[in-house]
Structure 1
Amino acid sequence: MIPRMLRAKARARAARLRVDYPRRGRGGVRRFLPSWRQVLGLALLCCGALAALVGYVYSTVRITDVNATARTEATVYYWADGSQMVSVGAVNRQNVPLSDIPVSLQNAVIATENAGFYTDPGFSVRGLARAVSNMAQGEEIQGGSTITQQYVKNTYLTQEQTLDRKLRELCLAVKLSRNLSKQDILQGYFNTSWFGRNAYGVQAAAVAYYGIDAKELDPARGALLAALLKGGDLYDPSVSEAHHRRAVARWRYVLDRQVELGFMSPQERAKYTVFPEPRPRSASLSTSLSGQIGYLVDVANKYIERRTGLTAEDLGRGGYRVRTTFDRALVEQLERTVEDVTARSPEAGEDLQVGAASVRPDDGAVLAVYGGPDATEHFANNADTSGVPVGSAFRPFVLAAAVRDGGDPEDVEDGDARDVEPGAVRDVAVGAGLLPQSMAPLDRSFTSGTSTPSAVRMADAYATFANGGRHTDLYAVTAISHQGKPLEGLERPGERQVLDGEVADEVVEQMRDVAVNALDPGALRTVGPVAAGRTDAGDGLPAAWFVGATEEMSTAVTVFRAEPGKDGLLPLTGGEDLPLGVWSSYMTTIQ
């Protein structure tokens, strides 16, 4: 009798402990609707688990020596053959005490980055809630970080957007707030933040932008540095007119925000109406990036950012090893050729710009670029720029669309593109490698070449024709590691058939006529079969192009006139034959 009673009690206890789900005594859908007790219990369980996790992370993270953590190695870039291309210095940073940072600049940064800095516990409840919400929706783990959190991220952590990193950032921010004064945290933040121009810290930024020490910054100049914290690569006013407009708008916001929060009186704000133009950007760049090296690094960095999510700020902090696809001999020969051909041209002048790029057709590797005379003086990369209309060098895409859809290629070659659907042409061009955002509006002028692809994209697209209609996306980096650890995201792009082989062959045959008419017989014998396209004198566009592809290499050359630092092109008065001269001399020399 007693054992039976004990077994009955055990069964009753187990029944009480068992979760009643699906719920007994309910029918239909109601069986699967949890009770309020179950919902509350689950919420308490989740909160308890989260609290335990936070407690564990909080107890295990350590505040290490700031200076030892902030010191990093240079980032080293390598040529395709493994030899070193350039070592982009150690971090450009000089620490200064908070007393050397003007109060007006401190107020500007607090007003725009973290208005509650002096009263918050090191983190923002609203920002934390946003990060949790983003995590629940499968989005990036982002939130409105406080100055303390940004300081932690700059000093102790990476810039990756993961829950683990965000949780460690939060715990370290709380620990720092308990162990350091707000003044110490603010000083550390000013000394580790990135301001663009490879400047880490306010002292390096003051020198890079104005050639003065941080303690000499007035409220107007300080407001620009505060504006740059939102993105040094987007708000440097010396880069372009678009950057200048963004910088001025942000500068005004920084000043107005200080008035709104009581850091500055309206009367004082009224003194600062003239934007404080910074010194030329060249003064802050390392000479190791001179010549073509800076353009090559620019191409590599953009590819890395696109494929891995790393930012220019991350790469600038150093410690990376980057293996590129660039062929040193080709880069040097392309640079010599451009310089020699333009030196012999009577039309060349200071406003004449040349951009060129070479791509390997069978795998899409970027082999060489010519971005301009010197990356430390001419910042825009002419090989990877937009805004230069391609003119009748766009005709092969029109021809390919016509042939693919059953049209007569002779009609296109005779100048009649009227029966070719612009949307079909766009699809062919994008499939071959041109970027959708470089495509012009689909109106009657579209097929005449009003689109504005870059030289490197044109070389890649022509390579598709030379490769039998098979296209591989461009790539410029084969491997990257950080402090010895390989990074993912740089797998070699796969090849895909974007045009029928017979269509590509027909286009190549038609394009060879351009090469025969443009090149001398000696050049043709040297480079072998070549599919080519070029702008016509009758295009009436402010740019000239020549693009030609063999089975081994595709090269695009463009020439245009532009005023440094200004958007838009000047009329191309002379120099129309320079692209052909550069292409022919370069391609025959490297054979």
Structure 2
Amino acid sequence: MGRPDTKAKKRGIRRLFTWKKVLGTFLLLGLVGIGGLYTVYLLVPVPTANAEATMQSNIYKYSDGTILARTGEINREIVGLDKIPLPVQHAFVAAENKTFYKDNGVDIKGTTRAAWNTLTGKGKQGGSTITQQYVKNFYLSQDQTATRKLKEMVIAVKVDEEMSKNDILAGYINTSYYGRSAYGIQAAARSYYGTDAARLTTAQGAYLASLLQAPNQYDWTSASATGRKLVEDRWNYVLDNMVEMGWLPAAERAGLKFPVPREPKPLPGMEGQTGYIVEAANQELMRQGVSEEDIKAGGWTFTLNIDRQKQKDLVAAVDKQLEDKIDRKGDKKAATVQAGATSVDPKTGAVVAMYGGVGATEHWMSNATRRDYQPASTFKPIVLASALDNDAETQDGREIGLNTIYDGTSRRPVVGSPIDFAPENEDDRSYGPVTVQKATNSSINSVYAQMIVDVGPEKTKKTALALGMKDGQDFGATPAMSLGTMGASTLDMAGAYATLDNHGKKVNPAVVRSAQHSDRQVDMVKQTGEQVISRRAADTVTQAMTGVVANGSGFRAAGDYQAAGKTGTSENNRSAWFVGYTPELVTAVALFGEDTSGKIAEQVTLTDAINPGRANGGKTPALIWGDYTERALNGGSDARFDLETEENTGGYGEPTWTTGPTETEEPTEEPTEEPTTAPATTATTPPAPTTTAATTPPPPTGKPTTTPPPTQEPTREPTNTATVQPPDTGLTDGGGGGGGDDENGTTPGLSTQQPR
């Protein structure tokens, strides 16, 4: 027999822990637990998305759809579930959560097991549903703690109530990390298989779904033998589950082979021309009303007008004609040379190629879009266009056309202007009476200075802005404007010349073709528009500039194509230009002298930097232009200008008072911007003007040739043909360029090197 006190204790314990009391206690704890969970359910809201979950990269594409660049801290492009093939969707469900379409967002058994193992130190484990993983990616952090796990469960239930299964699945697929710095299935599809998510096969989708368990370990190209076996096993597991769920026919499953991904490629960076193009696109978008903050937020797909092959052609032309000929590292003068270019399709306004400099990571400012250098004599065709469009007359009442005779005497004071102006021609050369065609071919300053007075500087500026040039503080309506003393970019000049090439219909050069976001898109400005100058005026200017290429200062740009163009060299040789076009392509090429060795970049002369003497527009810029144009046109073109003019002189029918090289004879000396060989006939015997309507000049058959000298005296007298002495005092309007003191501190406009 037991002791009485022991029996009493046992009876006391039984009374304390009766089955009713134990059951009641469990029920009470259960109610408290349920109440606690309900309280937590009520108190835990669905938070806003975390910053990383909504971050996306911006995608910049060439015109053919291939990727130029991705920008942003997160390589992600969100795509809708409608862009993901159904078998690929099923692969993710089969890999992670077969009950996804039936559960309420949580898996109690799996989550409890994972939480218990984490709390008891047995390792951090998963066990979450797709909804829970989406909640973790989109709303919470990646930390695996009991508190975060409880929040995850509660929010998952709420999200499952508020969102459709398709939206949850899409969110999960788009927020998950796949390795290779790829977030979301679109970035993963491109990184692993070089395709869009919409084109993924079932086998490829199953591999990407398998990756999510261990992205870095399961990357086939870098995985160990064990890692490869594990990911292949998981790939098979996913496909088998798809068969089990009725989502994949067994016969099709049997025929699938493991889809080995391609080697990883670095994300397109901002090196080379890429950074310049991306920045030009962003600036254009901001002008269309897209804020800088909106662009930085990401999620955009920008399809550009940049033609991938023409872009390569332009870079190759600059390399061959400039970079391969100079030593930037060993020659301080050569290091100051900056090249820029823009190429435009005149029919569509598409910017098909841009050259911003040696590389965006080496020289941050784009030489294609900068406006701090003068376009010089490439502005002269715009003066002529304004004269023709406004039916302007000379001081003695003669209508201005290509046959109109002007006095080409160097330093000849303009007549009819309240502002004194007497520009020097290059090398102080005087030509005497010349036609406008000859003045265009040889870029004679004194003729165009008088012409802008005849048409009116204000009217000329109005024409320039209508053609597409941009106004600025240095765009003064003075006679000096005839020499291109304002600032302009290669993009500006390509646009203005494209309007001339397009028969006077406005061309708005555009880098961006389309801008799309997941929830909106931007309506881009129309790239071609209204008639801004008459077709007769535009076509006559084109005709005049064919003579520049055939027989004038731009002869180095000639090739197996019909071309029109104009050279330009600014005061002190700080910039040198060639802007020209064929019927299919307009391109502006410029060289700028810039010393970046100091704290502040400084404009410097190009003289002796590329070749001995001046680096004028008829040399390297024209060579780059011709090289690029030949490449871009696949060696040449049979296209011809369709011109409607009232002029009969000019273009490829230019008479012999022009002085380009013959077909069999190269110049014996490096020519200046206008050829320096003696004219075939004197400047005082130009051909008689004609009133017969012009036909389109015939194309060149090779290099330009000279034709027999004219035999008829002119029938119209030139304006103020008397030669005058240069003025004794400085120019009052900024002279021939610069708009300020030159490097030697002299009065503006009295430089020994006049702009061309």
TM-score by length of 2: 0.42
Match of 1:427 in 2: 462
SS in 1 for 2:579: strand
Match of 1:331 in 2: 311
Establish whether residue 378 from structure 1 lines up as the match of residue 410 from structure 2. Answer: no
1:38-81 Cα distance to aligned partner (Å, 9 max, x none): xxxxxxxxxxxxxxxxxxxxxxxx87245356541211111111
Letter of the 2:622 counterpart: L
Aligned partner (choices 501, 511, 516) of residue 481 of structure 1 = 516
Letter of the 1:87 counterpart: R
Contact 2:388 2:537 survives alignment (8 Å): yes
Match of 1:110 in 2: none
The 1:431/1:347 distance shift into structure 2, 3 A limit, reads farther
Q: CA deviation at 1:420?
A: 2.9
Contact 2:347 2:528 survives alignment (8 Å): no
Aligned partner (choices 605, 622, 625) of residue 571 of structure 1 = 605
1:220-254 Cα distance to aligned partner (Å, 9 max, x none): xxxxxxxxxxxxxxxxxxxxxxxxxxxxxxxxxxx
The 1:70/1:567 distance shift into structure 2, 3 A limit, reads farther
Residues 259-278 of structure 1: pairs in structure 2 closer than 5 A: none
Aligned partner (choices 481, 491, 504) of residue 446 of structure 1 = 481
Give the Cα–Cα distance (whole angstroms) in 1 for the partners of residues 469 and 554 of structure 2: 29
Letter of the 2:566 counterpart: G
Q: CA deviation at 1:450?
A: 0.3
Establish whether residue 315 from structure 1 lines up as the match of residue 300 from structure 2. Answer: no
Letter of the 2:563 counterpart: V
Give the Cα–Cα distance (whole angstroms) in 1 for the partners of residues 469 and 545 of structure 2: 18
Give the Cα–Cα distance (whole angstroms) in 1 for the partners of residues 553 and 607 of structure 2: 23
Match of 2:501 in 1: 466
The 1:300/1:477 distance shift into structure 2, 3 A limit, reads same
Establish whether residue 504 from structure 1 lines up as the match of residue 487 from structure 2. Answer: no
1:72-101 Cα distance to aligned partner (Å, 9 max, x none): 121111111111111114359xxxxxxxxx
Q: Which moved more, 1:286-295 or 1:367-376?
A: 286-295
Give the Cα–Cα distance (whole angstroms) in 2 for the partners of residues 430 and 87 of structure 1: 35
Structure 1 or 2: more helix by fraction: 1
Give the Cα–Cα distance (whole angstroms) in 1 for the partners of residues 569 and 361 of structure 2: 33
Q: CA deviation at 1:580?
A: 1.0
Establish whether residue 301 from structure 1 lines up as the match of residue 282 from structure 2. Answer: yes
Letter of the 1:435 counterpart: K
SS in 2 for 1:384: coil
Give the Cα–Cα distance (whole angstroms) in 1 for the partners of residues 567 and 51 of structure 2: 56
Letter of the 1:391 counterpart: A
Q: CA deviation at 1:346?
A: 4.9
The 1:67/1:536 distance shift into structure 2, 3 A limit, reads closer
Q: CA deviation at 1:466?
A: 1.1
SS in 2 for 1:450: coil
Match of 2:647 in 1: none
Contact 1:358 1:369 survives alignment (8 Å): yes
The 1:486/1:83 distance shift into structure 2, 3 A limit, reads farther
Aligned partner (choices 538, 560, 566) of residue 533 of structure 1 = 566
The 1:424/1:568 distance shift into structure 2, 3 A limit, reads farther
SS in 1 for 2:537: helix
The 1:462/1:338 distance shift into structure 2, 3 A limit, reads same
Letter of the 1:381 counterpart: S
1:531-553 Cα distance to aligned partner (Å, 9 max, x none): 2011158x544110000011211
The 1:438/1:326 distance shift into structure 2, 3 A limit, reads farther
The 1:324/1:438 distance shift into structure 2, 3 A limit, reads farther
Match of 1:216 in 2: none
Contact 1:71 1:91 survives alignment (8 Å): no
Match of 1:554 in 2: 586
Residues 31-46 of structure 1: pairs in structure 2 closer than 5 A: none
Letter of the 2:621 counterpart: P
Match of 1:75 in 2: 58
SS in 2 for 1:308: coil
Match of 1:201 in 2: none
Q: Which moved more, 1:550-559 or 1:511-520?
A: 511-520
The number of equivalent residue pairs is 335
Give the Cα–Cα distance (whole angstroms) in 2 for the partners of residues 331 and 518 of structure 1: 28
SS in 2 for 1:398: helix
Give the Cα–Cα distance (whole angstroms) in 2 for the partners of residues 379 and 64 of structure 1: 41
Q: CA deviation at 1:326?
A: 0.5
Q: CA deviation at 1:310?
A: 2.0
The 1:321/1:540 distance shift into structure 2, 3 A limit, reads same
1:305-364 Cα distance to aligned partner (Å, 9 max, x none): 1113321x3212221111111101111111111112113435862111000010111121
Letter of the 1:548 counterpart: G
Give the Cα–Cα distance (whole angstroms) in 2 for the partners of residues 374 and 523 of structure 1: 25
Letter of the 2:543 counterpart: E
1:103-153 Cα distance to aligned partner (Å, 9 max, x none): xxxxxxxxxxxxxxxxxxxxxxxxxxxxxxxxxxxxxxxxxxxxxxxxxxx
Give the Cα–Cα distance (whole angstroms) in 1 for the partners of residues 530 and 563 of structure 2: 22
1:407-427 Cα distance to aligned partner (Å, 9 max, x none): 324445353232231111111
Give the Cα–Cα distance (whole angstroms) in 2 for the partners of residues 339 and 580 of structure 1: 14
Match of 1:86 in 2: 69
SS in 1 for 2:543: helix
Q: CA deviation at 1:472?
A: 2.2
SS in 1 for 2:455: coil
Q: Which moved more, 1:560-569 or 1:418-427?
A: 560-569
Give the Cα–Cα distance (whole angstroms) in 1 for the partners of residues 552 and 621 of structure 2: 11
SS in 2 for 1:383: coil
Q: CA deviation at 1:290?
A: 0.5
Match of 2:342 in 1: 357
Letter of the 2:607 counterpart: T
Residues 211-222 of structure 1: pairs in structure 2 closer than 5 A: none
Contact 1:433 1:461 survives alignment (8 Å): yes
**In percent, how many aligned pairs have the same letter?**
29
Letter of the 1:544 counterpart: A
SS in 1 for 2:580: strand
The 1:551/1:439 distance shift into structure 2, 3 A limit, reads farther
Contact 2:377 2:566 survives alignment (8 Å): yes
RMSD between aligned residues: 2.6
Give the Cα–Cα distance (whole angstroms) in 2 for the partners of residues 465 and 68 of structure 1: 49
Letter of the 1:338 counterpart: V
1:385-442 Cα distance to aligned partner (Å, 9 max, x none): 0111111111001111122233324445353232231111111111111111275222
1:507-540 Cα distance to aligned partner (Å, 9 max, x none): 11111111113589896442x2212011158x54
Residues 40-119 of structure 1: pairs in structure 2 closer than 5 A: 64-65=47-48, 67=50, 71-91=54-74
Contact 2:505 2:528 survives alignment (8 Å): no
Letter of the 2:497 counterpart: Y
Q: CA deviation at 1:444?
A: 3.0
The 1:542/1:499 distance shift into structure 2, 3 A limit, reads same
Q: CA deviation at 1:383?
A: 0.1
Establish whether residue 493 from structure 1 lines up as the match of residue 527 from structure 2. Answer: yes
Structure 1: tracts of 5 or more residues without a match: 1-61, 93-154, 157-285
Contact 2:62 2:303 survives alignment (8 Å): yes
Give the Cα–Cα distance (whole angstroms) in 1 for the partners of residues 504 and 280 of structure 2: 25
The 1:497/1:288 distance shift into structure 2, 3 A limit, reads same
SS in 1 for 2:576: strand
Letter of the 1:441 counterpart: G
The 1:562/1:525 distance shift into structure 2, 3 A limit, reads closer
Establish whether residue 588 from structure 1 lines up as the match of residue 571 from structure 2. Answer: no
Letter of the 1:431 counterpart: A
State the 4+ residue runs in structure 1 displaced beyond 4 angstroms: 68-71, 518-523
Give the Cα–Cα distance (whole angstroms) in 2 for the partners of residues 438 and 85 of structure 1: 36
